[in-house]
Structures are given as C-alpha cells and as structure tokens.
Structure 1
Amino acid sequence: MAGSEVSLVIDDLIARLPKLKAPTRPWGSQVCIYKVHEKLQAVSSPSVYKPALVSIGPIHYGDENLKGTQDCKLYYMSEALTQRGMNDINSTTALLQKCVESIEKLEKRIRDCYAEPIHLESKELVEMMVIDGLFIVGLFQHFGVEQPPPDEDPLAHNPWGRQNLTWDLLLLENQIPMFVLESLYKLTASEEQQNAKTIGYLSHGFFKNYIHFPRDKVVLKNMKEADKHEDTPYKHLLDQLAQTFHPLTDNKDGEAPPPLPPLRRALRVTIKFIARILLPKPKTLHTTRLYMASATQLYQAGIKIVKGSTEASFLDISFNDGVLTIPPVGINARIDPLLRNLIANEQFSDRYTEYVTSYALFMDRLIVTEKDVEFLSNQGIVTNNLGRFQEVADMFSRLHREIVLGTPFYYLGTFDRVNKYYNSRLNFWKAHLKRKYFSNPWVTIAVIFGGIILFLSSLKTIIQTIQFYLPKDKLSAEFNPNVLKLGYY
C-alpha cells in the first residue's frame, strides 16, 4: 500500500474516533429508554417486548400492525384537550398549539433519553410525542373518573383491548419520557386537577388493578402522597412501576449478626467441634456464593420455607434461624412479560439497583423442578394460574437466561446464610433424624416407646452390675430391680 493511501486510511480512522470529535449526542444519565437486544428476545416469546395494540414513542413508530389504534389515540387525545372545559374548535386549536410549542422546546432532551438515535425529522418527532403523550394523559384522566363511560369510548366495552393496551404501556421499548407527560398534563389539566394530583398519581390509579405482585404498603403510600403535589422523579411509566416494588428497607441478611454471650458462644463452638468429629459430611455441600439449593432440597436439610407478609414487597425475602421467608406471588401469563421488562430496564443501566434481576436468579435457584413448585404452592408462596407446575418451573428457568448479574447481588447475604445453615453437619443430621424417625405420629410414638424400653433396660443392667460388685449388706434389702421388668421382658 502506497504511503498516500496509508495516510488516507489513518485520517479516516482518526476522524471516526469519538474521543477526538464533538459528541453528536451524550450517553449520560438521561438515557433511560432502550431497544431490547436480540439475544434477550431470542430466549423469550416475541410478544414479551413488542406491543400488541398500540405504539408509544419512536421504537415501534410506523409499525403497520399497530396503526389500527390511531383512532383510539385521537379519541383520548381529544379527552385531554377538552379537560379545561374548552370544547370549541378555536380554544382547542390554541391549546394544541401550546402543546406543540412545549414539546418543540424539549426535543433535544427527548432525543437524549433514547439509547439509539431517533431517525425522525423534528416535525414528525414532535407530532408523535404530542399525540402519544396526550393520548396517555387523556386515558389516565378518563379512567380516573368514576362514572359510566360513553358508548363511543373505544375501550369502554372492550375488556380485551383495554387490558392489552394497558400492558403495552409498561413495555420498555414502548416508553416516552415522563417529563413529556408532565408538560402536556400541566397544559391541559385544570388548576383544580393539578392541585389535587399529578400525572404520576393518575398513573398509580390507572395501573393498580392490573398489578398483582405484592408491594410494600408503606412505600406505595409514601409514593402516592408525594405524587399528589410534586413533580414525579421517574424517568418513564415502567420506571415508576419498578419503584413501587422496591422494599421499604434494604436486605439485612448480609449484615453480621450481633455477638453471642461468651458462654453461648463457647457452647456453640464445642457442639460444632463434636459434630465435626462424630458426624459425616452431608453429601451435597454448596460452596459457590451464587448457588443455593432448591426448595425441596432446603426442606430436606431442615430449612423451613414460610409465606411472608402480603403487606411487604415481593422482593422482601429473608433468612433467619433456619427459616426462609418469601412473600407470596401469583403466577399468570402476564407475569413473565412484566418481569422481563423490569429486568431489561435494569440490565441496560447500572444506575438501577438490580432488584428484579436478583429476584429472577433467586427464584431460578429455588425452583428447579415441578416438585419445587408444588412444594411452594402447598406452602402458600406460589399461586399457580398457568396450569401445570412444570410451566412455572420453565418460566423461571428461562427468565434468567442471557441475564448479566451486576454487583451487588441483592440476595447475596441471604444465599450466604442459607448455605451456611445447609452445609452444617449438625443441622443436616438433625433434619435427617427428624425425617426418618419423626416423620409421622406413629413413627414418633414407636421411637419414644423404644427409647423408654432402652432406658429402662440400661438402668436395670446398671443396677444389676452394681449388685454384683457391691456386698449385699451395702444395698437396701427393700430394693428389688425386678420392678423395672416389663410384662414381656
């Protein structure tokens, strides 16, 4: 290659290096809406990340299969534009003009929220944001009023359409920035409405009947109170929903337990030393920190698995003194796409604590076979609305594929505590004896009766030995060891 050609190649490469030229768009904290990578899509159903009825934002904009809901969008858009009681064409036109001007000022900020460049001209982007934003605002306002819907309402008598449209609004690829909704809501809602509730508060009310995962009641109450009068700090609707699931306090299982009193500590060390000498190792030791035995294995090792409070978040899992507490969850067809989109929201940004990603790994470890699902179902922890137990096991198995677990893993302390208890020789053999000899009342009675017979036999042997070696005048003439003899002995 000639020298001039080499120079041209170098010049071209230098010109393409991002560090040496002004960035066209920043990859900063404002990026919050992502297109789900094809690897994640390959391990799930295509419908998990793609809207079924309505396109919101630029990622699925122009999809021919979603154009049928355009009239539905315009219906609720008109609902938003007439909230101030201005139903004439001139007032509506003036208000719509204000909405367009408001979004035009936010165009750069809107583009910066998307991980991938938006290949739309300014006019088309602004028009799309105004229509989609006013559609959502009008939808929330419309269903936030307790009154019979008019017959012309496109969703009033279409429960299937309303439910699918609702879930479309919670897909990661189907989001628009929350500040777009706030801007349009403040322009279209009356002062009385704005003083009573924000767009975030309306969002709580709209989605509450569709989300059946337990959420911490205190967290939810605090968020709703804050959302009544304050601008929402959420990035988009899915982000707001994710924050309602957050537990009230961080997981405490990773913290060191308080020190035991010296006497109890010495006794525990002694018992562990004796157990190490006398008892063989369990056959299944777990030393990897990100591994935990399945539900049925934990039960066989003596660990109790109990249903947690319905007042807490479904993420509020804890382990203490041999008891693993897990809040109950209902599993239906909507849970898989909801969890996947919450996980995808965490996967593409390390600014989020990976609560749901950690939960997916925890459940993947806990549920391996249909026996685990059946056990958890009997404990009241899993309510299976999918059908066969194996379907639930398969769902959680697939849920964690192609997922990268960041740090910190939220349940790492829980795994450590569970594995420490599970690997204990004393705990293992206590559980083994309990299963073998105390598994039902009749076996328990037989063991107790046999123990009594063994004790009395041993006592009789000891007394006879003492009689043999000691002079008879040393023993009480009134004592007769035959009183210990049972009828058939």
Structure 2
Amino acid sequence: MLTSPPRLDPNETNWIVHVNENLKCMPADEQQCWKYPSIYKVPPFITDLNPKAYQPQVVSFGPYHYDDNHLRPMEEHKHRALLHFLKRSGKSLECVFKSLKEVARELKDSYDKLDLKWKDGTGGEFLELMIMDGCFMLEIMRIATLPKSKAENYGYAPNDPIFSFDRLECIVPYIRRDMLLLENQLPMLVLYQLDAIANDGKEDDVNKLILKFHFPLERKTSTGLDSCLHVLDVYRKGLLKVMEPKKVQHKGKNEETETIIRSATELNEAGIKFNTSKTDSLNGISNSLNDISFDRGVLKLPLFTVDDTTEFMFLNVMAFERLHIKPFNSEDGNEVTSYVIFMDKIINNEQDVALLHTQGIIQNNFGSDKAVADLFNSLCIDVAVPSNKNLNYVQQKISKHCKKRWNEWRANLNRTYFKNPWTILSLIAAFFLFALTIIQTVYTLLSYY
C-alpha cells in the first residue's frame, strides 16, 4: 500500500527554498568572500583563564578598547603628540588624512570584528583614530629610544607629563606592555604611511624602531621583516630573529619513537647536558627561540630572560598564533607556542628551573624558581600541541638517548665518582690498592708453586 509523503510545514518549505537559492548562488571560489584580518578579539575560551593578560592598562591603540574608562586620561596626550608630529614633519593634517583615506578599506579589513560605529559612514572617525594612535605610538618609540641628551631637546617641554625623560622612564614599561596586546594593535600600514609622510617618502625602518623599543638590551636585526602585520607580529619575529627553520634530515626510515620528554632534572640524570645555543658570531649566545638542538648528549637551548612581562607577552603571542589563519599545510607560524610547550615539558618544578639557571639558559628576573616553574606550567593549559618538525626531531633524539641504559649508568658513574677532585683521587687510590693486591696475590701464588 502506497503512502503519500508527509506534508511540509510552510516554514519548513520556506527554509528549504532559501537554502536551495543560496546553493545556486555559491561562488566558485569562496576564498574571495573572506577578508584577511590580522587583529583579533580574543575569544572567551582563551581569555577566561587569565582575563587581565589581554587588557590594556594605560593606553588604547585601535578601536577595540577605545574610550574604556580607565584609558581616557591618555587621550589628551595623544592629541599633543599629533600636534608635535605635524609640526616637526611640516605636513598638514589634510595631507595625512588623505594619505590614510586611500587605504581606509584595507585598514578596516585588518580587524576581525569592528563595531558599526567604525564600519559605516565615510570612515572619518576611524581614520581620526588611526592617525591619533599612530602618531602617539611613533612619538613614544622615537623619543624613548633616543639618548637622554637628545630626548630632552626633541620638541617637548622638560616637564611634559608624558614625554619628558623622567616621566618616560616611568610610563614606558606600561606602554610597552600595552603595545603587545593582541586586541590593542594598529595595522602596520598606518605606521608605514605616517613615517613616509614625516620623511618625505624616504624609507625609514619602522620595524627596526619597534625592535629597538621592545628589545632595548638586545641587538635585533630587522632583516626579513618587510611584510609584518602589526607591532605584535614584529615582536614575535624578533623573538625568532626571523631565522629560517632548521632543515631536519631524517636518516633511514621514519620510525615511530616515543617522544615523551622528561624534566630537565631527569634528563640530566640520564646523562644529558645542557648548554646555551650559539649564534653565528664568535662566542655569541643566541636568544632566538628557534635555536633548539640536540646532539651527542647535549641539549642546546636559547638564553631567555623571565620577568614580570613574560606571562602576558607569551599569552598574547600564542593567542595570535592560534587565531591567525595560515597557508594550507603550513607548519610555520607556531614557533613560539612550540617553544613554550617544549619548556613546559622540561620544567616541572623549581629544581628544573635552578638547573637551567645554573647552565645559563634561564635568567630569572621574576622571583623564586618555583614561581618561574608555575609560570611555564600555567601557559600551556588548554593549548593544543602544534606540529614543529625541528622540535619533533629533537624530542625523538632525546627519547632515543634516554632509552639506552648505558647513558644513564655512565651519568650515575660520573655523579658518584667524578663529581669533585676528592672523589676522583679516592677512586684512583682504590684502583691502585686493588692493583697492588692483585700483584701481591700473583706473587704469592707464584712463590707457592
């Protein structure tokens, strides 16, 4: 017996018709439908663990935190920075506005989520925000990186509440922190455009200025930083020193090996020694997070300074690496996250931190060794392990080394008998007495027979 198909509700029919119409209108290349953002609102599943790490403290850059109550006092100083920028460059505000208006759509597309206030209309308010924040950022970085003698004569009053040298020393650490928050970024195009206007179109290395501002005690090269997205991206590449990933050469078959990494103390007990990675320069110590290698029982790691800024810096860089869309099948772009996860594996407690500190790998400006261990252990909560060929290969080699019992026996022998000169002398004396005893026994037997 045939049964008639069930009748559809009008609402269901409308939905089916709507979906079928959308199906017919689907573009051949969906990639063209999406913009390419680089500045993101950090989602709750990331921020819930540590909300303060993603919130600016003294100054807002861009639209996400504009007009927050506790950040309003800095707005009047931004206006003064704009006036000094225009006066020194000799350019009119109309010229600056026109230059940025030509790239307004590209600047808006750099933000993942924009309120209608910034999206709609002619874009005047949005460009005003970009110009004010961009000029303030450039002024802060330029003056903070000058010697004291030049900074005092850079156009600002010696008692300026922000730009005087004494005030800068106090406020710059907070501004430096806020400039590295993912939600508090400006598109690099803003800084490039403003810098070109101030220098009459001549190229000035803005990337180099950013590196000098954020790494005041280190010499960072800006080579290869032509296509950066924002200040956080420049900083991230500064951590990696724009090094090409090491080519990993696997010999023979690609064997599946256990890659569980023990703590630094356990690795040391298995006979593994720790050393700082070296740069290409003579006796130079590397601080590139890419410089991790293992060879002949020696694990080489880059020098890293842990201080009060380490936690929020890593969290924001890792959030950027998680949220930013990468080319298909690309393993690049997760290097900082891979480094933090690797360090989390070899640091379990204060003994591990003390060992790495003794070997010159971790410089502790943060607090106790336990605080540093807790810091690294907290950074990787709910973080997926990204693929990194170099670190995977390093972990495989370490696992192979630890599986050989002889390496552990040799390490125990070294710790027990060769730890200091007195134990070495005692061992030599014991061997000498043992040899004399054998000789005496031989002579006794010979004389007997």
The alignment's TM-score, normalised by the length of structure 1, stands at 0.76
In structure 2, the partner of 1:64 is: 69
The SS at the match of 2:97 is helix
- Return the alpha-carbon distance in structure 2 between the equivalents of residues 19 and 170 of structure 1: 41
Q: Give the residue type in structure 1 aligned to 2:11.
A: E
- Return the alpha-carbon distance in structure 2 between the equivalents of residues 440 and 19 of structure 1: 79
In structure 2, the partner of 1:190 is: 199
- Return the alpha-carbon distance in structure 1 between the equivalents of residues 438 and 15 of structure 2: 96
Displacement of 1:60 in angstroms is 1.5
Q: 2:288 aligns with which of 297, 314, 336?
A: 314
Runs of 5+ in structure 2 lacking a partner?
Answer: 1-6, 279-283
Displacement of 1:424 in angstroms is 1.0
The SS at the match of 1:138 is helix
The SS at the match of 2:112 is coil
Displacement of 1:17 in angstroms is 7.4
Q: 2:318 aligns with which of 333, 337, 343?
A: 343
Change (3 A) 1:327 1:24: closer
- Asked whether the equivalents of residues 207 and 222 of structure 2 are also in contact (C-alpha less than 8 Å), the reply is no
1:244-323 to 2 correspondences below 5 Å? 244-247=238-241, 249-250=243-244, 252=246, 254-256=248-250, 288-289=258-259, 291-309=260-278, 311-315=285-289, 316-323=291-298
Q: 1:278-311 deviations in whole A, cap 9, x for unaligned?
A: xxxxxxxx9632x211111111111111234454
Q: 1:426-451 deviations in whole A, cap 9, x for unaligned?
A: 11111122223333333333322222
Q: 1:459-485 deviations in whole A, cap 9, x for unaligned?
A: 44455556667xxxxxxxxxxxxxxxx
In structure 1, the partner of 2:3 is: none
- Asked whether the equivalents of residues 80 and 141 of structure 1 are also in contact (C-alpha less than 8 Å), the reply is no
- Asked whether the equivalents of residues 254 and 412 of structure 1 are also in contact (C-alpha less than 8 Å), the reply is no
The SS at the match of 1:319 is strand
Q: Give the residue type in structure 2 aligned to 1:108.
A: R
In structure 1, the partner of 2:231 is: 237
In structure 1, the partner of 2:111 is: 114
Displacement of 1:83 in angstroms is 2.0
- Return the alpha-carbon distance in structure 2 between the equivalents of residues 6 and 444 of structure 1: 87
- Return the alpha-carbon distance in structure 2 between the equivalents of residues 114 and 456 of structure 1: 82
1:447-466 to 2 correspondences below 5 Å? 447-462=427-442
Change (3 A) 1:198 1:325: closer
The SS at the match of 1:306 is strand
The SS at the match of 2:202 is helix
Change (3 A) 1:18 1:332: farther
Change (3 A) 1:20 1:319: same
Q: Give the residue type in structure 2 aligned to 1:448.
A: I
- Return the alpha-carbon distance in structure 2 between the equivalents of residues 27 and 448 of structure 1: 74
1:8-157 to 2 correspondences below 5 Å? 8-13=14-19, 20=26, 26-27=33-34, 30-44=36-50, 46-85=51-90, 95-119=92-116, 120=118, 121=120, 122-143=123-144, 146-148=150-152, 149-150=156-157, 151-152=159-160, 154-156=162-164, 157=166
In structure 1, the partner of 2:281 is: none
In structure 2, the partner of 1:169 is: 179
Q: Give the residue type in structure 2 aligned to 1:131.
A: M
Change (3 A) 1:125 1:15: farther
In structure 1, the partner of 2:334 is: 354
Change (3 A) 1:346 1:421: same
Structure 1, 129-138 or 333-342: larger mean CA deviation: 129-138
Q: 1:227-251 deviations in whole A, cap 9, x for unaligned?
A: 8xxxx42111111122222256556
Q: Give the residue type in structure 1 aligned to 2:128.
A: E
Q: Among the aligned pairs, what percent are the same residue? A: 27
Change (3 A) 1:251 1:243: closer
- Asked whether the equivalents of residues 43 and 398 of structure 1 are also in contact (C-alpha less than 8 Å), the reply is no
Kindly indicate whether residue 332 of structure 2 is the aligned counterpart of residue 331 of structure 1.
no
- Return the alpha-carbon distance in structure 1 between the equivalents of residues 257 and 86 of structure 2: 61
Change (3 A) 1:247 1:143: closer
Displacement of 1:19 in angstroms is 7.7
Structure 1, 418-427 or 7-16: larger mean CA deviation: 7-16
In structure 2, the partner of 1:472 is: none
Q: Give the residue type in structure 1 aligned to 2:263.
A: S
- Asked whether the equivalents of residues 342 and 356 of structure 1 are also in contact (C-alpha less than 8 Å), the reply is yes
Change (3 A) 1:198 1:450: closer
Change (3 A) 1:110 1:358: same
Kindly indicate whether residue 436 of structure 2 is the aligned counterpart of residue 428 of structure 1.
no
Change (3 A) 1:26 1:241: farther
Structure 1, 313-322 or 11-20: larger mean CA deviation: 11-20
- Asked whether the equivalents of residues 196 and 203 of structure 2 are also in contact (C-alpha less than 8 Å), the reply is no
Q: 1:5-34 deviations in whole A, cap 9, x for unaligned?
A: 221122345567798379798435x32111
Change (3 A) 1:345 1:5: closer
Q: Give the residue type in structure 2 aligned to 1:67.
A: R
Runs of 5+ in structure 1 lacking a partner?
Answer: 87-94, 259-285, 470-489
